[in-house]
Structures are given as structure tokens and as C-alpha cells.
């Protein structure tokens, strides 16, 4: 059932460290990696639960490229997610895709063959990995779909910074922060991929990130 109510951010979020303190970056980069990891697994699971969608390669190829990428992590203390305008970061993105996409394609093609969809499976052979990456980069419609989901995940992470240093806020102000972050998240998730509503992921992502926020940095 698609969520239509505000997301539930519990009190741990008001213990988020203030910006420019030693614990701010290590805390939020762990939260970021957790969100990115969950999105890379769950977005394809949900969208491609309908196996017929694999017939639309221009929709599925960029989604698989995204799923094959390694979640962004950094020691730079300024970056928390991939920036599509930063060529250095995007080279890291594409390097990870080249490493991981063949294995993902092999899983996809096995699933399609098991479903008797040999005609579709041929478009997802592991040997087509480089061709698929090149096509997603070359075709504007595919590239824009990939870039859009990278921007969306960055916005999800950025919205959480509203909690940084908020432990001194009065109850009414805390409620307002939760409402604003919840509204931003649900707006992003509502059209996360292919104009489909993925607000069902909201509570999962909040719970995943909350577990990180509650646990001490290692």
C-alpha cells in the first residue's frame, strides 16, 4: 500500500551531529551509503517485479547501470553522493558499473530464460555489458533517466542534513523539521523512476538510515 502519511523519523534523528563537528561527516556518510545500498537493491526489485518490463530496454538499461554502481563513499568530507556534474566522481561511478554489470546481467538473463523469454534474454547477455554502458551514455533519454535517479538519491540524503545539530530545538520546531523532511522525501519518491510512485520505500529507507544513526561510528 502506497504511503500517504508523513514518514516517521524518531528521536534519534535529533541527536544528529552539527555540521563542522568531527562526527558530522562520518555519521552522514554511513547514512548515505545505507540509503544508496538499499535503493540499488529495492528499486530494481520493485520495478522489475513485472518481468514484462524487461522488454523496454531503454527503460531497463539505465536502471541496471544504476543498480550495478557501487554506492558512493568518500573521505573528502564534502561529498556524500555522486554529483553528475563532477567528471571525476562520475568516472568512479562508471568504473564500478564496468566491474559489476556483467554479473548483474547474467542474473537477469537467467531469470528471463527461466521464464521462457529467450527473445528478451538475448538483450541482457553479460557480453553486452560494455555496449549497454555506452548506449546509456550516448542516448539522451537513457542518460537522463540515470542522471535523474542519481540526483534524486542525492536530494534524499541532503534533506537529512536538516536534522544536524537539532537536539536543542523545542518540540514544535522538531515537528516542523520532521514534516519538512518527510514532505521532501515523499515528493522525491513519488516519481523516483519511470514516473512510478515509490513512496512505499520511504519507511524502509528511514528505518535503514535510523539504524545507522542509532549505532555508534566504528
pLDDT in tens, 130-174: 999 999 999 999 999 999 999 999 999 999 999 999 999 999 999
Residue ranges of the domains in the chain?
A: 11-214
Residues 6 or more apart from 132 whose CB is under 8 A from it? 61, 64, 65, 101, 105
pLDDT in tens, 52-69: 999 999 999 999 999 999
CA pair distance 67, 40, nearest whole angstrom:
5
Looking at the chain, the whole-number percentage of residues with pLDDT higher than 90 is 89
Segment 72-86 mean pLDDT: 91
Looking at the chain, the whole-number percentage of residues with pLDDT higher than 70 is 96
pLDDT band at 195 (very low <50, low <70, confident <90, very high): confident
Taking 70 as the threshold, does the pLDDT of residue 3 lie above it? no
Q: Give φ, ψ of 48 to 5 degrees.
A: -95, 15
Q: State which H helix or E strand residue 68 sits in.
A: helix 57-68
Residues 6 or more apart from 146 whose CB is under 8 A from it? 62, 65, 66, 136
Q: What is the pLDDT of residue 85?
A: 96
Q: What is the pLDDT of residue 130?
A: 97
pLDDT band at 218 (very low <50, low <70, confident <90, very high): low
- Whole-model pTM: value is 0.94
Amino acid at each position: 500500500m502506497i504511503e500517504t502519511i508523513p514518514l516517521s523519523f524518531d528521536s534519534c534523528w535529533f541527536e544528529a551531529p552539527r555540521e563542522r563537528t568531527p562526527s558530522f561527516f562520518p555519521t552522514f556518510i554511513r547514512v548515505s551509503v545505507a540509503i544508496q545500498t538499499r535503493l540499488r537493491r529495492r528499486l530494481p526489485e520493485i520495478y522489475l517485479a513485472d518481468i514484462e518490463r524487461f522488454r523496454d530496454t531503454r527503460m531497463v538499461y539505465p536502471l541496471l547501470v544504476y543498480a550495478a554502481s557501487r554506492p558512493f563513499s568518500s573521505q573528502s568530507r564534502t561529498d556524500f553522493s555522486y554529483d553528475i556534474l563532477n567528471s571525476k566522481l562520475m568516472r568512479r561511478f562508471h568504473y564500478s558499473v564496468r566491474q559489476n554489470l556483467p554479473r548483474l546481467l547474467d542474473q537477469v538473463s537467467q531469470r528471463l530464460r527461466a521464464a521462457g523469454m529467450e527473445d528478451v534474454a538475448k538483450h541482457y547477455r553479460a557480453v553486452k555489458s560494455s555496449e549497454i554502458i555506452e548506449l546509456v551514455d550516448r542516448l539522451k533519454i537513457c542518460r537522463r533517466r540515470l542522471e535523474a535517479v542519481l540526483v534524486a538519491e542525492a536530494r534524499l540524503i541532503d534533506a537529512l542534513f536538516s536534522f544536524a545539530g537539532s537536539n536543542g530545538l523545542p518540540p514544535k520546531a522538531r515537528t516542523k523539521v520532521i514534516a519538512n523532511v518527510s514532505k521532501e522525501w515523499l515528493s522525491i519518491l513519488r516519481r523516483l523512476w519511470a514516473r512510478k510512485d515509490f513512496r512505499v520505500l520511504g519507511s524502509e529507507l528511514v528505518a535503514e538510515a535510523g539504524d545507522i544513526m542509532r549505532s555508534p561510528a566504528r
